[in-house]
């Protein structure tokens, strides 16, 4: 329900938002929650609720594109490493080890410093790092599944590696990948908020939950609602994706139904 609400909010932002996220009323700056502005107004008199609603679009876009692109790259590289093994696997895994040797957020900050602050560059920076986890997961699953009888039978029948990977291997390893992607959505949203908080992400006047936290930090003692509400939005959405990931993991685990049967 949380994820559904996020998606509906992002899609219908222009319809449900009470004000424009860039509409300024300087004489009403730092006004607290009121009847006209349920969550209050920032230092420029912009409506906090409207900015949070439009900020959901940024978070959802970053999550979908980052996870989608990273997943595709990770599936390709992990499948090649796991299926062929040998020197190919060694080379790919050493490259992955190099990427994993650097702290993720620091590398993202370095990439943003080179690329420049913008929403598209945030997605690029996160994708350059995000594929590593999917590649390792897919590679590990491939190493076990490729020894199954149906894979050996496909090889004996002369099926080419691409067909074996696409038709026989990937469908049998997709369950843990889906779970990983769900958690990856939460990680991407937090990463975007962190970069925007540091001024390296979405730039004004585009509203972002991370940049709203940065703007409200200066007035945290006199107007704490400027940071409380964007922070709550981030927390609730990340919790929603984590809950979704836990649920999908349980549903896709055969032992989950065994435990339910034993309880009954």
CA–CA dist 36, 23 (Å, integer): 14
Q: Which of 93, 82, 88, 103 is nearest to 191 (CA)?
A: 103
Q: Is residue 37 part of a domain?
A: no
Q: Is residue 99 part of a domain?
A: yes
pLDDT tens by residue, 21-72: 888 888 888 888 888 889 989 888 899 999 999 999 999 999 999 999 999 9
Domain of residue 226: give its range.
Answer: 68-263
Q: Is residue 18 part of a domain?
A: no
Q: Is residue 17 part of a domain?
A: no
Point out the least confidently predicted range of 12-16, 29-33, 207-211. 29-33
Spell out the SS3 assignment of 52-87. HHHHHHHHHHHHHHHHHHHHHHHHHHHHHHHHHCHH
Q: Which of 62, 59, 49, 60 is nearest to 23 (CA)?
A: 49
Query: Within 10 A of 152 (CB to CB), how many other CB atoms are there?
Result: 11
Task: Enumerate the β-bridge partners of residue 41.
Answer: 47
Q: Quote the number of domains for the chain.
A: 1
SS3 content of the chain, % helix, strand, coil (to 5): 75, 0, 25
Q: Is residue 47 part of a domain?
A: no
Q: Is residue 77 part of a domain?
A: yes
pLDDT tens by residue, 150-168: 888 888 888 888 888 888 8
Q: Is residue 2 part of a domain?
A: no
- The enclosing domain of 147 has a CATH number of 1.10.3720.10
- Specify the pLDDT at position 258: 55
Q: Which residues of 223-252 are buried (b: 16+ CB within 10 A; e: fewer)?
A: bebbbbbbbebbeebbebbeebbeebbeee
C-beta separation of 82 from 146 below 8 A: yes
C-beta separation of 135 from 77 below 8 A: yes
Q: Is the pLDDT of residue 77 over 70?
A: yes
Q: Is residue 138 part of a domain?
A: yes
């Amino acid at each position: 329900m949380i994820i559904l609400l996020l998606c509906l909010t992002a899609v219908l932002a222009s319809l449900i938002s009470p004000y424009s996220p860039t509409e300024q009323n300087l004489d009403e700056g730092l006004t607290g929650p009121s009847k006209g502005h349920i969550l209050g107004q920032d230092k420029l008199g912009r409506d906090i609720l409207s900015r949070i609603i439009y900020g959901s679009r940024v978070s959802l876009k970053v999550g979908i594109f980052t996870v989608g692109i990273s997943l595709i790259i990770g599936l390709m590289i992990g499948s090649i490493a796991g299926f062929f093994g040998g020197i190919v696997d060694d080379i790919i895994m050493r490259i992955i080890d190099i990427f994993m040797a650097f702290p993720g957020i620091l590398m993202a900050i370095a990439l943003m410093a080179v690329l420049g602050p913008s929403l598209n560059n945030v997605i690029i920076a996160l994708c350059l790092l995000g594929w590593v986890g999917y590649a390792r997961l897919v590679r590990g699953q491939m190493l076990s599944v490729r020894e199954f009888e149906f894979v050996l039978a496909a090889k004996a029948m002369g099926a080419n590696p691409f067909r074996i990977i696409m038709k026989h291997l990937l469908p049998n390893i997709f369950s843990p990948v889906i779970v990983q992607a769900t958690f990856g959505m939460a990680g991407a949203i937090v990463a975007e908020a962190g970069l925007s908080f540091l001024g390296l992400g979405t730039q004004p006047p585009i509203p972002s939950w991370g940049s709203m936290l940065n703007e409200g930090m200066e007035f945290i003692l006199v107007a704490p609602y400027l940071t409380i509400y964007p922070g709550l939005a981030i927390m609730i959405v990340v919790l929603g994706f984590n809950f979704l990931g836990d649920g999908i993991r349980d549903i896709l685990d055969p032992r989950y139904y065994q435990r339910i049967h034993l309880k009954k």
